[in-house]
Structure 1
Amino acid sequence: MVFPTVLLRLVDWVLYQLLANSCYRAARKMRNYGFLRNKSSQQQPPLFPSLTKFDLQNRGSDTLVCDFQGVLLRTQSFFPYFMLVAFEGGSIFRAFLLLLSCPFLWVLDYELKLRAMIFITFCGLRVEGIESMGRAVLPKFYLENLNRHAYEVLASTSSRLVFTSVPRVMVEGFLKEYLSVDGVIGTELHSFGTYFTGFVSGSGLLVKHRALKEYFGDKKPDIGLGTSSLHDHLFISQCKEAYEVNKEDSKNSPTSVMPREKYPKPLIFHDGRLAFLPTPLATFYMFLWLPLGIILAIFRIFVGIILPYKVAHSVGNWSGVDLRLKGCSPSRSHDKKGFLYVCNHRTLLDPVFLSASLGKPLTAVTYSLSKMSELIAPIKTVSLTRDRKKDGETMQRLLSEGDLVVCPEGTTCREPYLLRFSSLFAELADDIVPVAINTHVSMFYGTTASGLKCLDPIFFLMNPRPSCHLQILEKLPKELTCAGGRSSFEVANYIQRQLADTLGFECTDLTRKDKYMMLAGNEGIVHDKKRKIIT
């Protein structure tokens, strides 16, 4: 009799909590929404002054406290960032499950909704992997959604603390590295060993005004920023000065958008496959597109492998690949050696696109290429070893056989920056042709630092309309090459600057090692049984 009694109580609780209670909340939301629409003219004035009234002068000794979502971020919905963690840190199936939960999440109150998203997103994921995502994937989307006004207020103070009910592991890396926040107090997640269980810790979801009281005691912080919600009013009312972030101004005002040139720290490297902010509607469209995208990517790959260059170019453009070429290959002055095409590196397909645009076979040298990429490559590819002497001999031999393509950055960069060019290529050839390459995707990135690199071409070609624009520049004059008395470093730096000016990019001194240390926590080296491969 005990078991049936317990079962009946459990069913009664589920029916009450998830059905009756949720339906009541949904009805109340709809009623309130209609009421607010009808009574918008009778809204009460805000209790606290607007953030735009804040005076930035003489704030160098003040302490500021604020929330992350709705204050530092222009939108209050945190669903897209949970979706990023589910997709990038988990799997496509976890992301689909989170998407399916949206109708149920909508009728839950804030606390139940947050707990449900935390469980679906984090259950079974490695702690180390999520911490890495907080540094490598999420900052791009946080910066694009950063509230410029709120950041200016934050930057004007000396001591900055963020209190948030979202999991601390999702925001701490960004807040400390990009916004120089002194402390992040957020919801802590329970873990078992090195894995998250999907539950919050024993302290529960963070309640901001209580956490603020516990942190400061009887002392009041100087400035508090919050939204118009009751919880935020309780939070910022404990500060000497309190300002309210207006929801409409924050979300819709063009002046609240943080332009790239004003980013607190340049965004040069980031990882992950998704190129868009996965709101529920955008994620729904992505899953609708996936079956067609996979078929289209396979079709585009076979077109490149089977058909002649000119025909493949035309069919590829017909299938949605926007491949454009500006300039032309220089005329050959002698037949002893081929041209050395020096490109900046955007995707693994850069040499393939150059070969297809020129309508002739080229040889590409790479530092690492998966077996799958070698099999589907429509051009000849040769792996290098990072041994300067051996690599130089290999490239010399390949140049004697025909035209060669090299990407001296050694790795790809998604953002408008050029990494430092290796100078080896400048020692090997006098007929150097710089090629500026820029790509654009709308759904998936075709590069990764921590994922499966063999899928890079497929993800790039899964985009509805991926684009690659190439511009062939004039062949480097002899006086600017090593044969004209220039050092190999001078030649490499000159070409880097020339390509950057053509593309409107910025030059950096960063290298492949810097990229992998930031995104993957290693130097990008994979040890094989036979040899060492640099990814």
Structure 2
Amino acid sequence: MATAASFPAIGDCASTGREKDAVVADMDGTLLRGRSSFPYFALVAFEVGGFLRLLFLLLLAPLAGALYYCVSESAGIRVLIFATFAGMRVSDIESVARAVLPKFYSGDLHPESWRVFSSCGGRRCVLTANPRIMVEAFLKEFLGADLVLGTEVSTYGGRATGFVEAPGVLVGENKADALKAAFGEAPPEIGLGDRHTDFPFMNLCKEGYIVPAKPEVKAVTVDKLPKPIIFHDGRLVHKPTPFLALLTLLWIPVGFLLACLRIAAGSLLPMPLVYYAFWALGVRVTVKGTPPPPVDKSSGKSGVLFICSHRTLLDPIFLSTALGRPIPAVTYSVSRLSEIISPIRTVRLSRDRATDAAMIKKLLKEGDLAICPEGTTCREPFLLRFSSLFAELTDELVPVAMVNRMSMFHGTTARGWKGMDPFYFFMNPSPAYEVTFLNKLPSELTSGAGGKSSHEVANYIQRVIAATLSYECTSFTRKDKYRALAGNDGSVVDKPRLKPSQVMGC
């Protein structure tokens, strides 16, 4: 049996002239800097099973750790798999693997391993003890892996049993056997691993390299990936290490009560007092720029249409808080619970352009109105393509740049129940919103007086908001996002790729 000293370090592996070479790599501790897979199991547990499932996993984590280090890797991983997956719908696991995990995996990519792995133009294979269902989407879609060999979780009736199918957890000799079955008599040129249980498969490769444990090494930046990760889902802001998972579980009951109190203050108090109530309850609202005064309804003038960048469902609430008066909002969809607790009037769009245009014109005759023309939220520093509908309806247009800060929970979701979005946002210990009012569009840049096309107006407003926030503008739409993310049934259609031609100058 080879030892660690038998294999040179990954830094000694040349990455030039590898256009025809095949590479096989372990995942945790090799392709990823972190050697522990617990945070990713915890993400699946929380995103699919919620509070109780994460608690169950955390309670069994000490047992898994004891078995891992004192008995075998296989025994410890079996405990993590059972605690995380038992009883879960396969479609839900696949959905989280596509929509949530890539964001966290990509933030932990080892630079030296990625340098070698990405330089190989032959077959790229990943051998991992992690469940294949959990890692395959990221490895193939974002790292360009051709083959993913991982532990297979048994299923019954569309649900995971929590047990492992033969030949068991993919560690040690099981990895070597899987490699032989996949490559046959033509061994790959390069094998990458980080621990002694990787040596059996590394010995089958023409060259083997060890990835030293250096957690302080900086992860690969997202711009170095073959495909940028723009859209993602999930409630947790940070990767849940055991310590952070424990803090999250301890905070949730307190945070939920605090969220209810904050929502009650925003819903029941007069709007001029909401800003101060939020401040007293730890919610920070920063107002920049000069907002326009309310329109005198007796003058017969059309109300102002506030064009907001879209961060969460609460954008119109914080716009109203910044103005000190309730501003109705039009939206594509809002849950019944959100309608009940909302302190402002919300009006649903029908998605029929003529019908929506007539409705918005009618609302503007009654006063000011807010709209988020992106149609959906994006957590990255990007703006989705703006709908141009609003530009045809009025020349009274005021762009508003919205940005928020969340330290523990994201206040948006694509897969879950959107009625909980306000609660998750307000469950953060100290959530914050920054509302920047930009200059009203000059008449020469509008569709009416200026004769500009609705698309020119929409693109201009998108650019000025993006420039204010230092964001990029993309041509991605609401439909593109939900095609890129996993649906509730676990399906994905036509994953879009961001091309240079799709990015508009800001």
Same fold (TM over 0.5): yes
Distance 1:523 1:161, change over 3 A: closer
Deviation sequence 1:465-516 (CA, Å, 0-9, x none): 1111111111111111102011001111111111111111111111111111
**8 Å contact kept, 1:513–1:523:** no
The higher radius of gyration belongs to: 1
Letter in structure 2 aligned against 1:65: V
The correspondence of residues 124-273 of structure 1 with structure 2, limited to 5 A, is: 124-158=87-121, 159-206=123-170, 207-227=174-194, 229-248=195-214, 251-254=215-218, 257-273=219-235
Letter in structure 2 aligned against 1:170: M
In the aligned structure 2, how far is the partner of 1:271 from the partner of 1:480?
Answer: 36
SS state of the match for residue 225, structure 1? strand
1:4 is matched with which residue?
Answer: none
Distance 1:116 1:157, change over 3 A: same
1:467 is matched with which residue?
Answer: 432
In the aligned structure 2, how far is the partner of 1:523 from the partner of 1:395?
Answer: 34
In the aligned structure 2, how far is the partner of 1:209 from the partner of 1:192?
Answer: 28
**8 Å contact kept, 1:516–1:523:** no
Shift in Å, 1:366: 0.8
In the aligned structure 2, how far is the partner of 1:188 from the partner of 1:355?
Answer: 51
2:408 is matched with which residue?
Answer: 443
**8 Å contact kept, 2:315–2:402:** yes
In the aligned structure 1, how far is the partner of 2:125 from the partner of 2:137?
Answer: 14
Where relative contact order (Cα < 8 A, 6+ residues apart) is larger, the structure is 2
**8 Å contact kept, 1:411–1:512:** yes
Choose the corresponding residue for 2:399, options 434, 451, 465: 434
Structure 2 residue runs of 5 or longer lacking an equivalent are: 491-506
1:302 matches 2:264: yes
SS state of the match for residue 445, structure 1? coil
Shift in Å, 1:420: 0.8
SS state of the match for residue 399, structure 1? helix
Shift in Å, 1:332: 6.9
Shift in Å, 1:219: 2.4
Deviates more, 1:172-181 or 1:124-133: 124-133
- Aligned-residue CA RMSD (Å): 1.7
In the aligned structure 2, how far is the partner of 1:202 from the partner of 1:163?
Answer: 16
In the aligned structure 1, how far is the partner of 2:47 from the partner of 2:155?
Answer: 19
Shift in Å, 1:340: 0.7
Choose the corresponding residue for 1:345, options 300, 310, 323: 310
Shift in Å, 1:234: 2.4
SS state of the match for residue 150, structure 2? strand
Letter in structure 2 aligned against 1:144: G
Deviation sequence 1:129-181 (CA, Å, 0-9, x none): 21121111110110111112211211111120011111100010111100111
Letter in structure 1 aligned against 2:290: C
Higher helix fraction: Structure 1 or Structure 2? 1
**8 Å contact kept, 2:272–2:325:** no
**8 Å contact kept, 1:517–1:523:** no
2:335 is matched with which residue?
Answer: 370
Shift in Å, 1:331: 5.0
**8 Å contact kept, 2:376–2:478:** yes
In the aligned structure 1, how far is the partner of 2:438 from the partner of 2:289?
Answer: 7
1:285 is matched with which residue?
Answer: 247
SS state of the match for residue 353, structure 1? helix
In the aligned structure 2, how far is the partner of 1:70 from the partner of 1:423?
Answer: 48
Letter in structure 1 aligned against 2:425: F
**8 Å contact kept, 2:87–2:160:** yes
Shift in Å, 1:49: 1.9
In the aligned structure 2, how far is the partner of 1:283 from the partner of 1:502?
Answer: 35
1:36 is matched with which residue?
Answer: none
In the aligned structure 2, how far is the partner of 1:522 from the partner of 1:506?
Answer: 29
Q: TM-score, normalised by structure 2?
A: 0.91
2:478 is matched with which residue?
Answer: 512
1:122 is matched with which residue?
Answer: 85
**8 Å contact kept, 2:22–2:188:** yes
In the aligned structure 1, how far is the partner of 2:252 from the partner of 2:293?
Answer: 44
In the aligned structure 1, how far is the partner of 2:239 from the partner of 2:144?
Answer: 24
How many equivalent pairs are there?
A: 476
SS state of the match for residue 324, structure 1? strand
Shift in Å, 1:276: 1.3
1:399 is matched with which residue?
Answer: 364
SS state of the match for residue 258, structure 2? helix
Letter in structure 1 aligned against 2:374: E
Shift in Å, 1:333: 8.4
1:408 is matched with which residue?
Answer: 373
The correspondence of residues 37-52 of structure 1 with structure 2, limited to 5 A, is: 46-52=5-11
Deviation sequence 1:356-405 (CA, Å, 0-9, x none): 01112211011111111111111111111111111101100111111110
1:276 matches 2:241: no
In the aligned structure 1, how far is the partner of 2:421 from the partner of 2:216?
Answer: 35
Shift in Å, 1:318: 2.4
In the aligned structure 2, how far is the partner of 1:262 from the partner of 1:317?
Answer: 41
1:478 is matched with which residue?
Answer: 443
In the aligned structure 2, how far is the partner of 1:115 from the partner of 1:407?
Answer: 46
Percent of residue pairs bearing the same amino acid type:
51
SS state of the match for residue 423, structure 2? helix
Deviation sequence 1:221-268 (CA, Å, 0-9, x none): 1111111x21122221221121111102xx1023xx122333332111
Letter in structure 1 aligned against 2:487: G
1:490 is matched with which residue?
Answer: 456
